[in-house]
Homo-oligomer: A and B are copies of this chain.
Amino acid sequence: MKIKPSISGNSWIYVDNFLLNALDEDIGNGDVTTSALISPKHVSDTALISKGEFIIAGLTYAERIFHLVDKGLKFKALKKEGDRVRNGSIIARIKGNTASLLLAERTALNLLQRISGIATITNQYVVAVKGLGTKIADTRKTAPGLRYFDKYAVRTGGGSNHRYGLFDGILIKDNHISAVGSIGKAVKLVRSNNHHLLKIEVETRNLSDVRGALNAGADVIMLDNMTLEKIKKSVDLIKSRKNSVIIEVSGNMNLGNVRKIAETGVDMISVGAITHSAAAADISMMFD
């Protein structure tokens, strides 16, 4: 069941299944320590505290975890989604049954720290290209099973999402082209075999590919693993021909080179590292 909560809808089914499974791997048959020591009537006041500076993201999901374990827990966020928090800030207060708080603590922190970590690194890229109109986008290089949350984290950090998966966007790569014979043939075939609401992106490795993609009528052209110079020439070529084509750059991006690439005028830079190699933000839960 995949129905996911969105800003507008209210269904939590997909997210709940994920969170319950995550709780299950931690809790299994129960907390053998807590169930022996903490009275079922014992209550606590706790606070989520930042250790270090970062973008906080994922609070709604953390709150949901506490409520899945115990509907009676009170969760009050003191920071808004996407806020930059300083070291030692109180992010949220959670009150209620102590045993329930301990059952939910680790799973909630693990998710919150991951989402915040991805939002934080994404935001560093977004800041690096500020003012240039270039979008920072994610890739399909997410942790298995976590794509929904990883992509949410990217948006919250100010980045853009690329297609969700293989099913909701057309991206013609070199393997496709060589199997079919030419970019032109590939674009034509893919158009006639898909519904009319999908654009066509073509991955290119050199100027000749770019020319082929332009001639084939590609809607989006990805410049893959090109040098800065080649990127410049490609951008010039594309803009000289058809201004409405979207230009995406991909490959070997880092915080040192991303602004230079953005300055070439490309529309979008996609970065795998923001989802596959983000360090967790450091957050702890303090009991008063």
| Residues 4 to 19 of chain A near chain B (Cβ within 8 Å) | 4, 6-11, 13, 18-19
A28 x B28 contact (CB < 8 A): yes
Q: Render A177-199 as a binary contact track against B, CB cut-off 8 A, 1 for contact.
A: 01110000010011011111111
- Tell me whether A145 is interfacial, beta carbon within 8 Å: yes
Contact indicator A97/B40 (Cβ below 8 Å): no
A30 within 8 A of B: yes
Q: Establish whether residues A167 and B29, one from each chain, have CB atoms under 8 Å apart when the complex forms.
A: yes
Count chain A residues whose beta carbon lies closer than 8 angstroms to a beta carbon of B.
112
Cα distance A91–B268 when bound, in Å?
32
Contact status of A2 and B24, CB under 8 A, knowing A110-B143, A117-B277, A276-B280: yes
Please tell me if A146 contacts chain B, counting CB pairs below 8 Å.
Answer: yes
A4 & B30 in contact (Cβ 8 Å cutoff) = yes
Give the distance in Å from the alpha carbon of A288 to the alpha carbon of B169 in the complex: 25
Decide if A141 touches B110 in the complex (CB within 8 Å): yes
Residues of B within 8 A of A148 (CB): 25, 29
Q: Which residues of B contact A11 (CB under 8 A)?
A: 23, 27, 68-70, 103
Q: For chain A residues 105-147, which have a beta carbon within 8 Å of chain B?
A: 106-107, 109-111, 113-114, 117, 137, 140-147
> Which B residues are CB-close (under 8 A) to A24?
1-3
User: Once bound together, how far apart are the Cα atoms of A2 and B27, in whole Å?
Assistant: 8
Answer yes or no: A63 CB below 8 A from chain B CBs.
no
A140 to chain B, nearest CB (A): 5
A75 to chain B, nearest CB (A): 15
Chain B residues within 8 Å of A220, by CB? 196-197
A161: interface (CB < 8 Å): yes
Q: Chain B nearest CB: distance from A278 CB in Å? A: 8
Task: Give A contacts to B, CB under 8 Å.
Answer: 1-4, 6-11, 13, 18-40, 42, 44, 68-72, 97-100, 102-103, 106-107, 109-111, 113-114, 117, 137, 140-149, 160-176, 178-180, 186, 189-190, 192-201, 219-220, 246, 248, 267-268, 273, 276-280, 287
